[in-house]
């Protein structure tokens, strides 16, 4: 579980967590393509959810918002998820569905792409952890299952590559 600073303010806690999400092990960060390419059979991704001033939520990792994640087939993925938004709940879910989406409700009813590949909406300051194995090649979408967040842009892609 991610470490939290309990003796400081929420802002210090969030700053510490942001720095942690920007330092990923065994991952190549491609900022121009907004991609994270995992180069190991197991990886821990620290993901922070926040709501920028425009009102659209984003997932922050690797010093980028909503990056495409490329995983090798069979990769064991651990997600350390942090909600930094002071006003909204956020979660993380991976499904075998690609945009455009009919609506948030139908997307939320899609089963997770892999067992364990979801974190239900959680309140500000909370952190959750889940793990899953990306054992089937394909194109997937991660999104926030909180009502309306996907249509505000809080989603991106995961590619599981056989090579």
At 109, which CATH number? 2.60.40.420
In a domain, 1, yes or no: no
**Residue 15: per-residue pLDDT:** 43
**How high is the pLDDT of residue 18?**
47
124: left (phi over 0), alpha (psi -120 to 50) or beta: beta
- Do the domain assignments include residue 5? no
Counting the structural domains of the chain, the total is 1
pLDDT values of the chain reduced to their tens digit, one per residue, 163 residues: 333 333 333 444 444 444 455 556 678 889 899 999 998 999 999 999 987 555 567 899 988 889 999 999 999 999 999 998 888 889 999 999 988 887 788 888 899 999 999 999 999 889 999 999 999 999 999 999 988 888 888 899 999 999 6
Range of the domain at 79: 10-161
The predicted pLDDT at position 22 comes to 53
Question: CA 38, CA 69: separation in Å to the nearest integer?
Answer: 8
Instruction: Give every strand in the sheet of 138-143, ordered side by side.
Output: 27-30, 35-38, 68-72, 155-161, 138-143, 90-95, 118-122
Reduce the DSSP state of residue 107 to 3 states and report it: helix
pLDDT reported for residue 13: 46
Residue with tokens 């967040």: 149
Q: Note whether residue 137 is domain-resident.
A: yes
Distance CA 105, CA 47 (A): 23
CB–CB of 129/92 below 8 Å? no
105 falls within a domain = yes
| Residue 50 pLDDT | 83
User: What confidence score (pLDDT) does residue 104 get?
Assistant: 80
């Amino acid at each position: 579980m991610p470490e939290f600073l309990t003796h400081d303010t929420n802002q210090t806690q969030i700053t510490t967590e942001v720095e942690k999400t920007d330092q990923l092990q065994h991952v190549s960060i491609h900022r121009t393509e907004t991609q994270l390419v995992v180069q190991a059979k197991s990886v821990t991704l620290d993901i922070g959810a926040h709501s920028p001033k425009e009102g659209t939520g984003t997932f922050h990792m690797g010093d980028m918002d909503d990056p495409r994640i490329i995983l090798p087939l069979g990769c064991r993925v651990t997600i350390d998820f942090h909600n930094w938004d002071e006003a909204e709940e956020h979660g993380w879910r991976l499904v075998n569905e690609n945009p455009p989406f009919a609506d948030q409700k139908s997307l939320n009813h899609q089963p997770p792409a892999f067992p364990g590949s979801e974190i239900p909406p959680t309140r500000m300051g909370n952190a959750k952890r889940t793990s899953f194995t990306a054992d089937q090649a394909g194109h997937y979408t991660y999104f926030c299952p909180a009502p309306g967040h996907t249509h505000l842009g809080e989603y991106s892609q995961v590619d599981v590559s056989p090579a």
